[in-house]
Structure 1
């Protein structure tokens, strides 16, 4: 007989997620995340990212059930046969990006991003950026509303809304995507190898201030931002068979 997995349920503050938490813990029990075999996140994609950030030091995969809106990173919500679903689930592994942002006052802030690191204008005028890859300047000046570096897992989020490419989860590439590029006209970005180190330098930060975001963790008044994959951290996501990230990425491109 297969032993049922020990489950730690985590839920967003949304009433529908809290109701699901109460029902599921009554039915299947509740384990502490540090001693659980699997973490079940109840909420939307935003809560899934929050859960992955908060549990990255725990060696347990995360299975999401959608109690939010889009739920791209989540499985369908169903209370029946949960232990069997967890046992049969397929695993996808993704590495986060590490952002190192330097502010005008010289302070340095580091954050991790599972989806993307974004550079956003913080004033009324378009931003001016210099872009370097692996220490070599690739674009002397990009005039735009912003730019981002996306992982494959995040390629259907902000990156896709900015007309960036959808990346298969297994691909060893990152997407560099511009937002409302003014010069060069209609520049849509580039595909970079996963180990690439990207640097954004803000040109004229006094007149054209910019902020940086790593999965919505914001740093204001930045003068430079470095982005690179952190291969030392692996996030393990579980999906129902036939409904994993690879399948969802394909569906997004044909619907």
Structure 2
């Protein structure tokens, strides 16, 4: 795991393609200096939540703390943008350690596709036909048939993203559980999903795959025409995000549950 030095001074600035993000990067680099990402103690990501996920994925092989500032449209994972006292803010920041999901998807040609997801792994119908899924947990069938638009497994960090839009539960970061959430379930209508221990291994089998094709998406990596998908938390990988003092990710997740 990456071990921070006593005081952070070496920053690498990265930005999305949005003009305001690129302009911010130029100003901040001129003010605080800018080193290569491999030499940086902290990477500062300028953009929205999507760019934060891209940055985390890019550093997944050699994780470093990522401090995001919002220069995009959605900024739940980002700090407020300010050019002042940046080093002081980063050195006083609170850390959120997260573990990604590992997805193994088998397509109709029996090809295997592997990917990691920081937010969620989603299964989505590809046509007008509803998806028909069988769901097993740790090798035991728990739901024999689910007719739906899809289903997803979300991490605590991703529980406020697509999972929340699908009416899934918001999960505190230290809860050690995953959310299994249906997307527009048609039958059984009353099934609203489940909370699973973070050690659970989830298997989706796509029934009638030729008639009801399904794609699998791990964050922004998509596999089409899948037959089965296996999802589990990867505890060997730890990613670190930095948040301003008093505005930790834990606090944001808690506050989101009381938003109206």
Deviation digits for residues 203-223 of structure 1 (CA, Å, limit 9, x no counterpart):
000000000000021100000
Which consecutive segments of 4 or more residues in structure 1 shift more than 3 A? none
Matches within 5 A, 1:61-100: 61-100=65-104
- Residue 103 (1) aligns with residue 107 (2): yes
Instruction: Name the residue aligned to 1:41.
Output: 45
Aligned residues: 254
Instruction: Name the residue aligned to 2:54.
Output: 50
- Residue 150 (1) aligns with residue 130 (2): no
Instruction: Name the residue aligned to 1:128.
Output: 132
Task: From 107, 131, 141, give the equivalent of 2:145.
Answer: 141
- Alpha-carbon contact 1:104-1:223 (below 8 Å) kept: yes
Instruction: Name the residue aligned to 1:24.
Output: 28
Q: Which runs of 5+ in 1 are unaligned?
A: none
- Residue 241 (1) aligns with residue 252 (2): no
Q: Which runs of 5+ in 2 are unaligned?
A: 1-5
- Quick one: structure 1 residues 3 and 140, their matched pair in 2 at CA, closer, same or farther if it must change by over 3 Å? closer
Instruction: Name the residue aligned to 1:181.
Output: 185
State how far apart, in whole Å, the 1-side matches of 2:155 and 2:12 are: 27
Deviation digits for residues 153-203 of structure 1 (CA, Å, limit 9, x no counterpart):
000000000000000011100000001101111311000000100000000
Task: From 10, 16, 34, give the equivalent of 2:14.
Answer: 10
State how far apart, in whole Å, the 2-side matches of 1:132 and 1:19 are: 48
- Alpha-carbon contact 1:9-1:42 (below 8 Å) kept: yes
Name the stretch that deviates more: 244-253 or 34-43: 244-253
Normalising by structure 2, what TM-score? 0.96
State how far apart, in whole Å, the 1-side matches of 2:53 and 2:17 are: 14
Instruction: Name the residue aligned to 2:121.
Output: 117
Normalising by structure 1, what TM-score? 0.98
Q: CA deviation at 1:3?
A: 5.0
